[in-house]
Structure 1
Amino acid sequence: MDSESESKLISFISQLVSRNNTDSENISCMIQTISLVSSMDLKSQPKPESKLMSLVTQTISLFNSMDLSSQPEPLRKLISLIIEKLSHLNSVDSDYEPKPDSEFMSTFYETYKLQPRPEIISIIHQIYSLFISTDTNKVITLVRSLDLDYSEPEPESEFISVVAVVKQIMSFANSISNSEPEWQFISSMTEMIRLISSIDLEPEWEPPMQLVALFTHTFSLLYYLDRDSELYTLIAQIIFIIDYTDSEPESEWGLDQLMSLSPQWKVQLVQGKFHVTGKIERKNKEKGKCQPENRHRLYLAKGEEASHFICKDCNGEDHIECEKTPVEVKHLLHPKHSLQLVSQKSSIIQTRKCFCCDEDLKKIFYYCTGCDYDMNIACAEKPPVLFIDRPKWHADTLALFQRQAFLTCNVCAVADSSSPIYMCPPCDFVVHQRCTGLPRVIRISRHRHRISFTTSFDEGDWSCGVCRRKIDNDYGGFSCIKDGCSYAAHSRCATQKNVWDGIDLEGVPEEIEEEEVEPFVTISKGVIHHFSHQNHHLRLDENRDRIYDENKLCQACIMPIYFGNFFSCMQCDYILQ
């Protein structure tokens, strides 16, 4: 086996252990890694072989001699799913794209947590460990050196409460050895605390991207933990403190100024849909014995004073002196059914947006179980805006369409019912409320020029430069402002957080740029000379019956080519999509 194959393998595994992967990216990377290993000629491996290749050889040998019928059910199921994924990649269906697969990932986690571990999983774990630098003694030493002891007067502030729980979590470092996934979570949390302690906090401080990525990764590891474990319970305490607690003592705000919340049902978000898990009961059965520390103020809207509170002891039943938030309401935007006040189980793994304001749903909100329809309390308490003027999108006044409907938006070209709709019936113009806040001129990471919003596209076959799918010419999107450049993108694709920097450049003069050099020169029909490959010419490969090889990577983005045409070198293996 040549060094190039081993380099590719190292690249794939490095991507796999990256902290910023989505489920779909993890699955794609796993399958590419397995496909690459399957194609390797391990017999020609040079001696002495590397630690990585030694473990890979052991894995392949063990798999080939494995009696699947004697393996645990999760492992058998995982192997079946992997074979299915590989068959898709090796098929002639060029439209196939990896998609998030909850069944695959849940089976993978279930297999990974088997005790005792199957031998093949143990070897795979050793491979994984080669790419994760985790010195147990160093981490424990760091945990012990962290200054987590704060002497503050009672009552404890939100920060001190969090620190107390963090100290308990860190104590696990001495008791779980090097187990997974608990150790991985604690190690990541330790690294996060160390990074925070190294930062000089300024009045206008914003967390660096490294910290944001590490925070996201740390709490994504909750998905792997046993929900009944002590560690998970402690993490849930932190979430509850951050969700509920107000740093001011109750004596400084008083119940008579606030409205009492009495959510009736508990709901949990599972694969994008809420499920009712039970009725909420008071915790203290003795009337009139509510403890002040179990009452918490809630901020229902950004930038506004707290206006509501919740009492865990009585769920609002005993606070007759306080005005109560209705437990059931009818709303103009959802006239068919009543909305009930519910409380959702805290989750950092997944969230959902309020139908009305497009902000994350709060801990307590209004919900229709029959329609899976939700709305934040702040939105339910305000009457909807029946008419709006948005001259940058449409010249006429727009009227609220008072139904939840699948109407195609003229701005984003999507028939989506998850946002209120405004329309101009005489002009047949429809726009989502959320889309009225989209920018007009932006710069994205996928194109070197600015792109601007256009209400429609000229005749022809247009495809999105971000997702590569077809663009509907009759609806809005973004196109390049440069003459002769045909780059285009869907509105939603162009304004994704990982594509656009969030800055609207409308009215901002473009900086004078150096004269641009075209990336390629056309030699003849279908043949170009590209700046990235100076020695040879590239030919356009338009073979629609090809079988795509996931081991062949585009030399620009270093990603496999799963669909579409690409350029390939006429004299060597260089390819460019």
Structure 2
Amino acid sequence: MDLETESKLVSLITRLISSEDNIDSEPIMHSKVQFQSYVIQIISLLRSTDLDSQPNPESSEFMSLVTQAISLFNSMDVDAQPKPLELISLISLLISSPDSKDSEQMPDFMLLIEKTLNLEPEPELVSLMHQIFSLVVNSKWKKKLICLSPQIEISYQYGKFHIDEVDWRFGNKWNCLPLNWEKFRLTGEDATHFLCRGCNGQSHKEYNKALVEMKHTLHRKQPLQLVLLYAFGSTRECYCCDEDLRGVILYCSTCDFAMNFSCAGKEPVLSIDHPK
């Protein structure tokens, strides 16, 4: 695989798994079509890859995994695979006849992907896919983002905060990809921190971790704790930005003080209502 093809493959995988595509804000049907398009482009590119070409020495691990996945994919007997892996046949049909009217009668593409990724025991091809995706994720975000791992959960009910028992339920490892990350920025326009709701940072040990207690000029008495807020509907306002408190917040139970995590890097704005 030459450098240009490899770069294109990495780009497609990044788009597929990246939350930067704003999938949540797109209409459901549009996001499904977009996701399906990325999958088809990736498979098509892999099918046309020359495995005998000289690999890029700087990406030997990536290319080794890709080569294993292609070889396994090409040698698979689809009829002998678990039923959810009929996804392979579906992808092959979509690649060969992308505009086929029969596509409307096909099984739900996204549902097949979900079933395939949750197969137990995990097929070797799925395991290789996850390793490839994880490698791409780490190369893009490892040096850029800091992982948030709040150790306390609180809920907002009847106008008050309630501290709950810590009960992190880890989902499957596919939930830890960036598509499911909640990103925050403290300064500038680019994200600086992320929260993985799939594992609360337990599966991201290669990332730097944010402190679980922080000091802020708006609350000098004691450090604020990093907590995860569960709330349905409206909540209280942040003491800094006056927006509703959401997701990860900084909280002091003694003073009942709370502010959004994204405000942690902001300097307080002082104003005088009555200059005289």
**2:63 — aligned with what?**
53
**2:11 — aligned with what?**
11
Structure 1 residue 107, shift from structure 2 partner: 0.4
Write the distance in 2 (CA, Å) between the matches of 1:35 and 1:182.
25
TM-score scaled to structure 2, two decimals?
0.54
The 5-angstrom pairing of residues 312-331 of structure 1 reads none
Unaligned runs of 5+ in 2: 24-30, 199-228, 237-276
From the superposition, tell whether residues 180 and 70 of structure 1 become closer, same or farther in structure 2 (CA, over 3 Å): same
Write the distance in 2 (CA, Å) between the matches of 1:27 and 1:186.
15
Unaligned runs of 5+ in 1: 200-207, 220-236, 248-577
Structure 1 residue 41, shift from structure 2 partner: 1.0
Structure 1 residue 188, shift from structure 2 partner: 2.1
One of 108, 111, 118 as aligned partner of 1:113 = 118
Write the distance in 2 (CA, Å) between the matches of 1:246 and 1:55.
46
Match of 2:121, SS state, is coil
TM-score scaled to structure 1, two decimals?
0.28
From the superposition, tell whether residues 64 and 157 of structure 1 become closer, same or farther in structure 2 (CA, over 3 Å): same
Question: What whole-Å deviation, never above 9, does each CA across 1:179-233 have from its counterpart, x for those lacking one?
Answer: 42454589724x45xx4xx37xxxxxxxx8969xx89x979xxxxxxxxxxxxxx
Write the distance in 1 (CA, Å) between the matches of 2:159 and 2:49.
58
Code of the aligned partner of 1:60: I
Write the distance in 2 (CA, Å) between the matches of 1:18 and 1:4.
21
From the superposition, tell whether residues 209 and 56 of structure 1 become closer, same or farther in structure 2 (CA, over 3 Å): closer
**1:64 — aligned with what?**
74
**1:157 — aligned with what?**
159
Question: What whole-Å deviation, never above 9, does each CA across 1:55-102 have from its counterpart, x for those lacking one?
Answer: 111011112222323211101x2012101110124x7x8xx9x99x88
Structure 1 residue 39, shift from structure 2 partner: 0.8
One of 2, 7, 24 as aligned partner of 2:33 = 24
Taking CA–CA contacts closer than 8 Å with sequence separation of 6 or more, which of the two structures ends up with the larger relative contact order? 2
Question: What whole-Å deviation, never above 9, does each CA across 1:224-253 have from its counterpart, x for those lacking one?
Answer: xxxxxxxxxxxxx94xx523x787xxxxxx
Q: Which has the higher helix share?
A: 2
Contact 1:17 1:131 in 2 (8 A): no
From the superposition, tell whether residues 210 and 39 of structure 1 become closer, same or farther in structure 2 (CA, over 3 Å): same
* Match status 1:180 vs 2:183: no
From the superposition, tell whether residues 70 and 60 of structure 1 become closer, same or farther in structure 2 (CA, over 3 Å): same
Rg: which structure is higher?
A: 1
Identity of aligned residues (%): 34
Structure 1 residue 3, shift from structure 2 partner: 1.5
Match of 2:52, SS state, is helix
Question: What whole-Å deviation, never above 9, does each CA across 1:444-500 have from its counterpart, x for those lacking one?
Answer: xxxxxxxxxxxxxxxxxxxxxxxxxxxxxxxxxxxxxxxxxxxxxxxxxxxxxxxxx
Equivalent residue pairs, number? 188
From the superposition, tell whether residues 58 and 26 of structure 1 become closer, same or farther in structure 2 (CA, over 3 Å): same
Write the distance in 2 (CA, Å) between the matches of 1:66 and 1:209.
42
Contact 2:84 2:116 in 1 (8 A): yes
From the superposition, tell whether residues 12 and 187 of structure 1 become closer, same or farther in structure 2 (CA, over 3 Å): closer
Question: What whole-Å deviation, never above 9, does each CA across 1:94-118 have from its counterpart, x for those lacking one?
Answer: xx9x99x880011011101112110
Write the distance in 1 (CA, Å) between the matches of 2:54 and 2:116.
30
* Match status 1:130 vs 2:130: no
Contact 1:185 1:218 in 2 (8 A): no
Write the distance in 1 (CA, Å) between the matches of 2:37 and 2:45.
12
* Match status 1:42 vs 2:48: no
* Match status 1:143 vs 2:149: yes
Write the distance in 2 (CA, Å) between the matches of 1:81 and 1:186.
23
**2:83 — aligned with what?**
73
The 5-angstrom pairing of residues 465-484 of structure 1 reads none
Write the distance in 2 (CA, Å) between the matches of 1:179 and 1:78.
20
**1:454 — aligned with what?**
none
Code of the aligned partner of 2:124: E
The 5-angstrom pairing of residues 11-410 of structure 1 reads 11-19=11-19, 20=21, 21=23, 22-46=31-55, 48=57, 50-75=60-85, 77-89=86-98, 103-133=108-138, 139=147, 142-144=148-150, 157=159, 160-161=161-162, 164=163, 168=166, 171-172=167-168, 176=170, 179-184=172-177, 188-189=181-182, 191-192=183-184, 195=185, 198=186, 238=230, 241-243=231-233
From the superposition, tell whether residues 157 and 125 of structure 1 become closer, same or farther in structure 2 (CA, over 3 Å): same
Structure 1 residue 147, shift from structure 2 partner: 7.5
Contact 1:42 1:57 in 2 (8 A): yes
Contact 2:78 2:88 in 1 (8 A): no
Contact 1:9 1:33 in 2 (8 A): yes
From the superposition, tell whether residues 47 and 24 of structure 1 become closer, same or farther in structure 2 (CA, over 3 Å): closer
Match of 2:91, SS state, is helix
**1:564 — aligned with what?**
none
